[in-house]
Structure 1
């Protein structure tokens, strides 16, 4: 059995697994000698084949003698036409994306693309299917074509070494570098054999490691907030652990989120339970964000981007001793009196690993910078997961079960609160490495039971609203090495979602909320079947292309509905009398061209067509009454919403260009800039509703500018353009002063419908500047967050403007062998500001209502959190 050094790719495993006796190490030296010509060009390269029929694999080693010792694998000398410095098996043999990820700094787009260019983009992305179909048809013949030699460029070390007996098999826990947080390190601990993801990496994609989640968890328990560390990333304000992620100006359902390949649909008319709320920040091992030109193999049914979240991979013992590791972490934040605990524990032998991850946290209402308590911002949450994994001869099987319980979560920008959320899931995954490439499969089941109500004393009333949602699906992806230069990816997935949404009657409320049960969504059904094919080719050292074609068919339907009483009868009859079944046949395409002229630069041009079908609430909510409409919507703006059965899928045609520069080792400095433009056909926005004789959707509703309004989902064409920039620079690195790294990011986006109406919830220009410092056991950081004024607001939503602001955050920490203490201060100067994507404050500013009680006053945004002193203690053993 051979193990892979942590962090390195299992190149030999892909070429073929060891099935015979150990080879003569003299053959390894012969291989080195056979490639003497190439080694003069690239010293330290070694070529070997694990099997006569397998592809060549390249290993880069600093020491020739070490190379010969580590080449203890079945191999033969590759044909002389294949140079030892060749980059083979293009994507499957690459290093983890974190090694190639670019950090960065900023840039602003100065002009708007012309209408002619928009039409050209629309035509080019729509016609992607024609050449891509030809590509898919002819790809099978690639394996027989002779491959020309390439010269390796910027390849990281690939080392495969046999397992050796350990003198001290006992596990020893230590802590990691400042940014990485506590981890377990020991020679007897090894990650399971695995190959790189079957999904290719676009130059505009960004990967955040688990260390980033650990660092940010000092100040928040909201996993979605991690996305703000990515250029172009933002969050829509919601509950304390349930923000909605946004990328490049679009958010909510337009950004697809997968957790260990599992897709979770929000089971709530306010989307109070988005996918990222089901995983705590400390449970996250990595978060990868793909933006608008993501390859088709990444997924379908989104137009804004895809966020892939993975929890920590299983650990296995490398010797006969049993491996046990435990990490426990507790935190406290002064603002909101928030506190909680996170834990991770593993017990494993050489082929089986059992791991628990989870945590519990709670917080009260937080205070804004002026000392004002922001009501309905309290919350409590717990997430738990147990996984069992087994590895065998290049195969990894994992079965994970878990669940969530939220007893309460306040929403300052919604009329309702979450008063209970329970979920459970089962998720099975298989990763297999074969001579021909890699196979990844997964299947999942997720069930949510959700209830909305009012949390006293900030909201006092009685109106239960219940939902039950079920997600069921599978995903199959295969990465096939067609030749030394070509990789073919094919895949298929299904995601079936079922939803019931009902509101029980309230005794004594009259016809408004009794005597019947209000059926909002009855047996809502949304099933998607997706298939894709993708071809990646490395033409030579400089040029790489990627073409893909995808088809997703979405079937939707729902049953008959009813209201509380006869006052809802007309709307219900109108809806029930319609044909509500819909089938959307969607086609996506992507094309990426990458040019790497040297070891310090990379350029990538990308085109993509992405399609998203409406969700169940956009299509099937039906009542035009004021009370029912105000219960619908995840926008946090105080407006009321109603669905539209006749909505078309939205289709985004996007072009982007990424330029990146870095030092040859990608350790000292990096800069990346990505301008982009997207034209969206049938963007699902809203119109002011009008229904003859209605008291809500009336003529006055069409013209209001300083009040909450009533809206119906509708298709409009829109365009978005902007630029993302990020970078980092190692300012110093020596024994006397430690290591200091400057980092920065910048984002600008503008979104507008073609009729001149601004898109809702588009983040204003923003930037982050930071300095991270390490010295011995000390870790320190300072960060400045800058956000511009939000002046471009949606006229149809009556969105409110917000002022610019700047926040200063500090952190420091010290680590011992098994213990780490972190301390930080967020919003050091206790700045008062309004969240640009926070929506409307519906709780703190209210006036007497004509119907009794009180109602929110339009025009007040949600204040951001004031100064908070945070601390976290982590113990590993």
Structure 2
């Protein structure tokens, strides 16, 4: 909560704002964060918005399964929250990645913490922190209840993609009741070389909430529902049959005194998830190859935080936690005797405490913080049935070894972050972040006892086994940035370097039964998660030049290099160097945007899993927006206007046979796509 003594800090922040912030076209950039107003963007996957922020991108395993990537780290390494609440996913391959739990037209904004996240942001944010906010409406200013909301619709010709959204809010100055919802539907997507099969999608997202506020208190409670059906993930071995999720949460804040405030929140979500390899993609030739995987995840997240201000200092302290459970059972509908219990009664609990002190003055600010993170994990015994002959013998040896091992593990890690920024001149500011961040192994990296592809969405087509002897990753990082804001030109570059010890990735397995089993199933030996050493470094920036009051040009650029330092190899699935430039014109009632986005080829690929290089490419996009009235907005957009054929390095390789794109070939980008949308507010 804001405190009365925040006035000094707010004034200092306002004075700095003119030199460290770029705001244009619904996008904001400063040395501390980057954000985008998602509801103004044409997309079905909120993770796609990350690729429009410097240094960020997304690994795309399906049209609704985007995995956040920031400065060379992705997956569990990037902390993702929704309105400050962490999400417990249900699928071991991240088909329901955290950002799939929000839908674009009802998402108010997506905020990326630029540089090293502060200790108060989240535990295990070794690769960055992202928060998405649902648009639930505002309180009104009077005692009488006012009703407001929006309805919107969008259509894209490629795949007959439709989105329908609405929000109804009743509010006065103290109470707010809100109901929001969005439905997304699409058929298979077309590329210049044919259809991506399957790339159809179906998702419904609902959220109901009540909020209260007065001079000293804030309170909100919400209930949400996600229903995803028959959605393709062509870069993975199976597709989504359904994901049913319930999400609940409550938050409370109180101003105890002019200088002291507390905030608390608790959330729960439950996921039931089924995937298979025969319903919406061409089925295997042999009935014995049919596979269905039912998985589940559930658990609680909670946090308690206090802030105390004195003079120019702000003290923050808190505790938080995440208690998660996971299960996964693979079956064959053609053989009632077949099953593989690949994850059974898995628990991964994170408990953490932190403290930070921040000082702000007219020309500078600094922050230093410490966080201790305790991660405890455990798993039940596993079993299988229906694997015959040598496959059954090898699987039996692996199951026996796993069940006999000590599976109760704990990881205790101390993290530290220091941030400093100073105004050098009226137009120029300098910032530096120093940090040491950690991440304990995921449950897949620890407890995957049979060589399978349940790897948190790596999508490299290789079979992995876990490792109970893994250590936690530690990244020692420095990020240095400048912010220049002249009368017409603004730019915010940042350079960074990460030295990562005990980085977790696959290495050739030395477990003979796993290698024999993987070779019989796929023709390749197994990979085993292990600790290696790595470094990641790069530069990203955003800029804008105002030609006139209505006409401006803007752009961004990102470069990331990641490599192992213990052997000569590159890190897997890193975004290639890329840049964009856009011309914007805004009149009183309409705006026009044209942009060129260019990606360099990615030849620095990992050898350990035979990652394929990709060629560079560029595409041209255009967008038009017209405010037909104070309450109606019409949007038009054309993506890949010149209908170029290209392959996004982060899109993964095709895993589906008997379709237009051969198995093992990098998935192609969508052909020219024209979209139209309308939003009415009331």
Query: With structure 1 as the length reference, what TM-score do the two structures score?
Result: 0.73
Residue 430 of structure 1, CA deviation? 1.6
RMSD across aligned positions (CA): 2.6
- After superposition, residues 456-475 of structure 1 pair within 5 angstroms as 456=279, 458-461=281-284, 462-475=290-303
1:362 has 2:362 as partner: no
Partner residue in 1 for 2:536: 720
**Using the alignment, how far apart are the partners of 1:275 and 1:556 within structure 2?**
21
Residue 300 of structure 1, CA deviation? 1.3
Alignment check: 8 A CA contact 1:328 1:342 kept? yes
1:297 has 2:117 as partner: no
**Using the alignment, how far apart are the partners of 1:723 and 1:423 within structure 2?**
38
Partner residue in 1 for 2:218: 396
**Using the alignment, how far apart are the partners of 2:276 and 2:472 within structure 1?**
32
**Using the alignment, how far apart are the partners of 1:572 and 1:515 within structure 2?**
17
- After superposition, residues 64-213 of structure 1 pair within 5 angstroms as 88=8, 90=9, 94=13, 102-103=21-22, 179=25, 204-210=31-37, 213=38
1:745 to 533, 556, 561: 556
**Using the alignment, how far apart are the partners of 1:439 and 1:669 within structure 2?**
40
Gaps in structure 1 of 5+ consecutive residues: 1-9, 16-54, 59-87, 105-177, 182-200, 509-513, 734-738, 848-854
Residue 695 of structure 1, CA deviation? 5.7
1:686 has 2:509 as partner: no
**Using the alignment, how far apart are the partners of 2:243 and 2:18 within structure 1?**
38
Partner residue in 1 for 2:385: 564
1:824 to 625, 637, 640: 637
Partner residue in 1 for 2:465: 642
- Which is greater in Rg? 1
Alignment check: 8 A CA contact 2:19 2:429 kept? no
1:485 has 2:312 as partner: yes
Partner residue in 1 for 2:287: none
Partner residue in 1 for 2:492: 672
**Using the alignment, how far apart are the partners of 1:455 and 1:700 within structure 2?**
21
- After superposition, residues 740-779 of structure 1 pair within 5 angstroms as 740-754=551-565, 755-779=567-591
Alignment check: 8 A CA contact 1:359 1:383 kept? yes
1:621 to 442, 448, 463: 448
Residue 816 of structure 1, CA deviation? 2.0
**Using the alignment, how far apart are the partners of 2:15 and 2:668 within structure 1?**
40
**Using the alignment, how far apart are the partners of 1:291 and 1:685 within structure 2?**
25
1:226 has 2:15 as partner: no
Provide Cα deviations, 1:64-102, integer angstroms capped at 9, x if missing partner. xxxxxxxxxxxxxxxxxxxxxxxx2x3698569998863
Query: Does the C-alpha gap of structure 1 residues 544 and 318 become closer, same or farther in structure 2, counting only changes over 3 Å?
Result: closer
Alignment check: 8 A CA contact 2:21 2:29 kept? no
Partner residue in 2 for 1:445: 268
SS in 2 for 1:571: helix
Q: Which has the higher strand share?
A: 2
Residue 369 of structure 1, CA deviation? 2.4
Alignment check: 8 A CA contact 2:519 2:526 kept? no
1:547 has 2:368 as partner: yes
SS in 2 for 1:837: helix
SS in 2 for 1:776: coil
Alignment check: 8 A CA contact 1:340 1:360 kept? yes
1:711 has 2:538 as partner: no
Alignment check: 8 A CA contact 2:19 2:486 kept? no
1:872 has 2:677 as partner: yes
Query: Does the C-alpha gap of structure 1 residues 257 and 632 become closer, same or farther in structure 2, counting only changes over 3 Å?
Result: closer
Alignment check: 8 A CA contact 1:689 1:697 kept? no
Number of equivalent positions:
668
**Using the alignment, how far apart are the partners of 2:19 and 2:344 within structure 1?**
48
Residue 700 of structure 1, CA deviation? 12
SS in 2 for 1:297: coil
**Using the alignment, how far apart are the partners of 2:96 and 2:73 within structure 1?**
18
**Using the alignment, how far apart are the partners of 1:616 and 1:100 within structure 2?**
44
2:3 to 11, 14, 28: 14
**Using the alignment, how far apart are the partners of 1:580 and 1:319 within structure 2?**
58
Partner residue in 2 for 1:787: 599
1:606 has 2:425 as partner: no
Residue 305 of structure 1, CA deviation? 0.3
Provide Cα deviations, 1:683-740, integer angstroms capped at 9, x if missing partner. 0111022333666468999xx9xx865311111010001001111122111xxxxx12
Residue 750 of structure 1, CA deviation? 0.4
1:337 has 2:160 as partner: yes
Alignment check: 8 A CA contact 1:505 1:564 kept? no
1:843 has 2:668 as partner: no
SS in 1 for 2:380: coil
Partner residue in 2 for 1:274: 97
**Using the alignment, how far apart are the partners of 2:616 and 2:656 within structure 1?**
24
**Using the alignment, how far apart are the partners of 1:698 and 1:243 within structure 2?**
27
Alignment check: 8 A CA contact 1:782 1:811 kept? yes
Partner residue in 2 for 1:47: none
- After superposition, residues 579-590 of structure 1 pair within 5 angstroms as 579-590=406-417
Residue 288 of structure 1, CA deviation? 1.6
Provide Cα deviations, 1:201-240, integer angstroms capped at 9, x if missing partner. 9964323242xx1222x2x110001111111111101121
Provide Cα deviations, 1:342-364, integer angstroms capped at 9, x if missing partner. 11111112311111122001111
